Amino acid sequence: MNKIEHIGIAVKDLEKSNVLFASLFGEAHYKIEEVASEGVKTSFFKSGPNKIELLEATNPDSPIAKFIEKKGEGIHHIAFAVDNIKEEIKRLQNEGFIVLNDPEVSGLKKGADNKYVAFLHPKSTNGVLIELCQEISEND
């Protein structure tokens, strides 16, 4: 696994949070993207070399809506960049981690920001939802 790619924060109202985080970082978000398959609308901020992703649910069945219902707003996941997501998933499964969307079963999943993504169940990672992401290249 490489560097932390971004940290995801679940919010109730993306518009309001965009204003809040813009004043926190002194700079507005640089991107808004909806991932319809996940039921989320996201915005991305830069803080130096780091990225923060805000996530708002677009429907009541969205994983973000369920997260906020249970735990309230706050840190939702930590994403790590990987070079080869399929190999990394296999390695982690062999180590006993629970991968939520196994590409062998459902194919590689596309997330926001031009990435293939997979998540590890927080049950297997001390309560932390971990995202793996691999930049999608033109050859894929």
Where along the sequence are the contacts to Zn ion (CB under 5 A)?
8, 53, 79, 131
SS3 for 58? coil
Question: How near is the Cβ of 103 to Zn ion at its closest, in Å?
Answer: 17
Q: Angle CA(26)–CA(28)–CA(30) in degrees, nearest 5?
A: 135
Of all residues in the shown chain, the one whose CB is closest to Zn ion is 8
**CA–CA separation, 10 and 72 (whole Å):** 8
Question: How near is the Cβ of 134 to Zn ion at its closest, in Å?
Answer: 12
- What is the separation, in whole angstroms, between the first and last Cα of the chain? 20
Q: Which is nearer to Zn ion, 77 or 96 (CB)?
A: 77
Tokens of 82: 């990987």
Q: Which is nearer to Zn ion, 53 or 56 (CB)?
A: 53
Q: Which is nearer to Zn ion, 37 or 94 (CB)?
A: 37
Question: How near is the Cβ of 26 to Zn ion at its closest, in Å?
Answer: 23
